[in-house]
Amino acid sequence: MTRPMGDSHRRFLQAMMANGIVDEPGAKTLHQHSCETHNAHYAHDRLDEFIEVINSQLQPMFMQIRKGMSEDNGLQYYALVNMAETDVTRMSSDYADNELELFRKTMDLIVGSETGTASSTDILNSADSLQTKKLKKSETEHLLSRLVLDRWLSEKRGDYTLSTRCIIEMEPYIRTMYQDQVKVCHICHNIAFQCQICEKPTCGIKIHNPCVAIYFKGRSEPRCPVCDDFWPHEIPEVRRLQSQPRR
C-alpha cells in the first residue's frame, strides 16, 4: 500500500522544485530539516525510502526524483525530472525551435568527441548550419549562457559538457539516440563522457575520473580491470567530496 505524503514530504518536494537538483549531502540535510520542521519521524539512513513516497505520488504527473552521479567529482545527486517525454522536446516551453536545434547539435558534438566536451568555437560554427532560423553569434553566446544557468550544460574554460542534471534527466534519450557511441563506466555502470579510456584497441573500456581514483588507489601498478594492460593515464587523487548544493 502506498504511503501518503506528509508535510515533511511536501516541504522536501517544494525545495526540489525550486532547485531542480541537489547533491546527496544537501538532500540529506533537507530530509532532516523537513522532518524536524514538521515533527515527522526522521531516520538518517532512510532518505531513499522517503523519496520513494514522494515518487509514488508524482507518478501520475509523470515526474520523478531520480538519483545519478556527477562525472566531475563522483558525488551522487538527486534531480527532479520530467518523465512524460524522453527527448529534448520537454524543453520546448523554455526554448525556441532553433535554440533546441542548436542544443541537439551541441549534444552531438559532446557525445561524438573523445573528451566528452565541445568547444565554444565548434558550437558557434554549428550554429551556421541550423535548418531552422539562424542564430547570430551574440544570440548563440546568450543561449549557451542560458543553458549553463538552467543547468543543462556545464562550462569550463570555454569547453562545454553535459551537466549532471542533463545526464540524469535525459539518460533514456541519450542511450536511444547515441546507442552506438555511448559507453558506460566499467566501475559504476553510469553513462561515461568525462572519463579515461583503455588504450588497447581490442578493449577500450571507459572509467570515470573519480572512479579511476577510487579503483586504482593503493595499487602499485595500475592495470586495466578487463584486459590487464598497463593503465597509461595519470591516476587522479581521491578528492574529498564537498557539498555543492547548486550544480
pLDDT at residue 245, rounded to an integer? 38
Least confident residue range of 8-12, 33-37, 64-68, 172-176? 172-176
Q: Is the pLDDT of residue 241 over 50?
A: no
Q: How far is CA 71 from the centre of its chain?
A: 7
Query: Cell numbers of 15, please?
Result: 525545495
pLDDT at residue 50, rounded to an integer? 97
CA atoms of 22 and 27, how far apart (whole Å)? 6
Which structural domains are found in the chain, ordered by start? 7-82 (3.90.1150.220), 88-169 (1.10.10.10), 182-238 (3.30.40.10)
- Position 92 confidence tier, pLDDT thresholds 50, 70, 90: confident
Helix (H) or strand (E) holding 167: helix 164-169
Q: Is 162 left (phi over 0), alpha (psi -120 to 50) or beta?
A: beta
| This prediction's pTM | 0.81
- Position 2 confidence tier, pLDDT thresholds 50, 70, 90: low
Packed helices 97-112 and 137-149: angle between N→C axes, nearest 10 degrees = 70
pLDDT, tens digit, 9 for 90 and up, residues 16-25: 999 989 999 9
